[in-house]
């Protein structure tokens, strides 16, 4: 039995609750308080109730997957302002499929050859300050990354000079530190040279305006995560962008257990729009189910019409309380970060005074993590002696539990030292 009765129900949203005797309890897997935003390793975030309901309904009938994807693509296009769209199994999968589309297009020979890129452009240009571990996705498609610039600075002429006949695309990452070229500069130069720009906007929501912004700024394909702020299925994502590139994504992703004469796109073959029917492409291992597609679409529409000001107001109230309560605890110093990393969700940064507490921030984070229930904070600044509390995924009553546990953890420390 948990020591806090409030944890015996998990409030999803708007007072709807599900029994605490959840599947996770039955499995003996501990439920945690997710105070780190939308981190994938903690389960992303929670789907909206209407998303769960849509997935249940989608699970009760059959459809043609290519037809469902095409309709989903129209809806993504409406919401993002792009020509077309596609539902992926996550933003990282989207980056891989985007790179594959830029390299192979609609050529069945190239589609079949990937990730071997012999005979096709395979260089993806990235600013050094944008390199990150998710760019593995681009390598997985067979591309090689060509770096330009220094960590904090890139010159426009460097991008121009790096483009050659082996260039497939430029990959631009949102929410990186300022200094490198911004997206409008990048698209201007790349397009002058006929090169598409892929944008990694996985975690660039909120603000909701970003759903349209990168398309307006000239991106050819934008990848968003469906399992982060959109509150769609955890293993879902979006590609939005140019219709020809999305068509290539579809050709490389759809199950190709089809016959030429009866295939959905057999008319394209007869009209010579396609040289031939491809085999399963490089995207096929990143399968997306009908439930995920429908769930994502419902989440996307809900996000586009959501009252974001109310969310921000609620987060502000939560961080104000957390900040005030943490500052009352000896050895801790809290401050509110309003626009950390250019994001719209306010955070609390808690620093730990190692002298008066005898503990590092890492030790405090570990003790919170070992509590009952485990509290998982964002440990990104832990080597600077601090951790972050992000209100995005906090459920009803959890804020109080965090404050209680912080007090308990620090009291135990004071007694021990
Ligand atoms: C989370 C993230 C990804 C991966 O998104 P998934 O939907 O989890 O695949 C890629 N790039 C960045 C910058 C991210 O933050």
Q: Which of 239, 219, 244, 232 is nearest to 286 (CA)?
A: 239
Its pTM stands at: 0.92
Query: Residue 236 CA: which ligand 1 atom is closest?
Result: 7
Query: What's the gap in Å between 2 CA and the centre of ligand 1?
Result: 33
Query: Residue 225 CA: which ligand 1 atom is closest?
Result: 7
Q: Which of 291, 287, 283, 284 is nearest to 233 (CA)?
A: 291
Residue with structure tokens 């992000």?
390
**Cα 48 vs. chain centroid, distance in angstroms?**
16
Confidence of residue 21 (pLDDT cuts 50, 70, 90): low
Residue 11, SS3 per DSSP: strand
Dist. CA 379–CA 347, nearest whole Å: 13
Is residue 278 a contact partner of residue 250, using CB atoms and an 8 Å limit?
no
End-to-end CA distance of the chain: 30
Q: Each residue of 194-221: pLDDT tens digit?
A: 999 999 999 999 999 999 999 999 999 9
Average pLDDT over residues 156-181: 93
Q: How crowded is residue 151: how many other Cβ atoms within 10 Å of its Cβ?
A: 14
Answer yes or no: is the C-beta of 238 below 6 A from any ligand 1 atom.
no
Q: Each residue of 210-262: pLDDT tens digit?
A: 999 999 999 999 999 999 999 999 999 999 999 999 999 999 999 999 999 99
Residue with structure tokens 């260089």?
123
Query: Residue 235 CA: which ligand 1 atom is closest?
Result: 7
Answer yes or no: is the C-beta of 225 below 6 A from any ligand 1 atom.
yes
Element (H or E) spanning 268, and its range? helix 266-270
Answer yes or no: is the C-beta of 123 below 6 A from any ligand 1 atom.
no
DSSP state of 74: H
Query: Residue 38 CA: which ligand 1 atom is closest?
Result: 1
Exposed/middle/buried for 207, CB within 10 Å: 0-12, 13-18, 19+? Answer: middle
Answer yes or no: is the C-beta of 91 below 6 A from any ligand 1 atom.
yes
Q: Each residue of 28-45: pLDDT tens digit?
A: 999 999 999 999 999 999
Q: How crowded is residue 408: how many other Cβ atoms within 10 Å of its Cβ?
A: 13
Q: Both tokens of residue 116?
A: 């071997």
Q: Each residue of 305-346: pLDDT tens digit?
A: 999 999 999 999 999 999 999 999 999 999 999 988 778 899
Element (H or E) spanning 190, and its range? helix 183-192
């Amino acid at each position: 039995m948990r020591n806090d009765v409030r944890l015996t129900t998990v409030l999803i949203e708007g007072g709807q609750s599900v029994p605490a005797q959840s599947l996770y309890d039955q499995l003996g897997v501990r439920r945690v308080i997710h105070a780190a935003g939308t981190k994938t390793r903690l389960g992303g975030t929670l789907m909206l109730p209407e998303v769960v309901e849509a997935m249940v309904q989608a699970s009760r009938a059959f459809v043609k997957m290519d037809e469902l994807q095409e309709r989903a693509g129209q809806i993504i296009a409406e919401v993002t302002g792009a020509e077309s769209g596609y539902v992926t199994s996550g933003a990282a999968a989207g980056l891989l499929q985007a790179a594959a589309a830029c390299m192979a297009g609609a050529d069945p020979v190239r589609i079949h050859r990937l990730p071997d890129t012999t005979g096709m452009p395979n260089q993806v240009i990235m600013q050094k300050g944008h390199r990150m571990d998710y760019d593995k996705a681009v390598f997985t498609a067979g591309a090689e990354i060509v770096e330009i610039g220094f960590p904090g600075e890139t010159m426009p002429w460097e991008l121009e000079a790096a483009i050659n006949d082996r260039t497939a695309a430029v990959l631009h990452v949102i929410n990186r530190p300022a200094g490198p070229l911004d997206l409008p500069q990048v698209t201007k130069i790349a397009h002058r040279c006929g090169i598409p720009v892929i944008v990694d906007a996985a975690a660039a929501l909120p603000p909701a305006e970003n759903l349209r912004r990168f398309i307006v700024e000239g991106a050819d394909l934008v990848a968003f995560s469906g399992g982060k702020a959109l509150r769609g299925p955890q293993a879902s994502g979006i590609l939005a962008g140019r219709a020809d590139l999305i068509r290539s994504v579809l050709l490389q992703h759809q199950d190709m257990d089809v016959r030429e004469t009866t295939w959905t796109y057999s008319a394209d073959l007869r009209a010579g729009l396609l040289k031939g029917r491809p085999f399963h492409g490089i995207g096929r291992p990143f399968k997306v189910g009908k439930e995920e597609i429908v769930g994502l679409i419902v989440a996307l529409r809900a996000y586009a019409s959501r009252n974001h000001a109310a969310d921000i107001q609620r987060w502000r109230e939560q961080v104000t309380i957390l900040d005030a309560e943490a500052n009352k605890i000896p050895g801790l110093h809290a401050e509110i970060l309003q626009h950390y990393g250019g994001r719209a969700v306010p955070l609390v940064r808690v620093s730990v005074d190692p002298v008066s507490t005898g503990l590092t921030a890492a030790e405090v984070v570990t003790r919170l993590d070992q509590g009952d229930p485990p509290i998982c904070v964002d440990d990104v600044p832990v080597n600077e002696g601090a951790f972050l509390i992000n209100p995005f995924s906090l459920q009803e009553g959890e804020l109080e539990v965090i404050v209680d546990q912080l007090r308990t953890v620090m009291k135990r420390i004071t007694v021990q030292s």
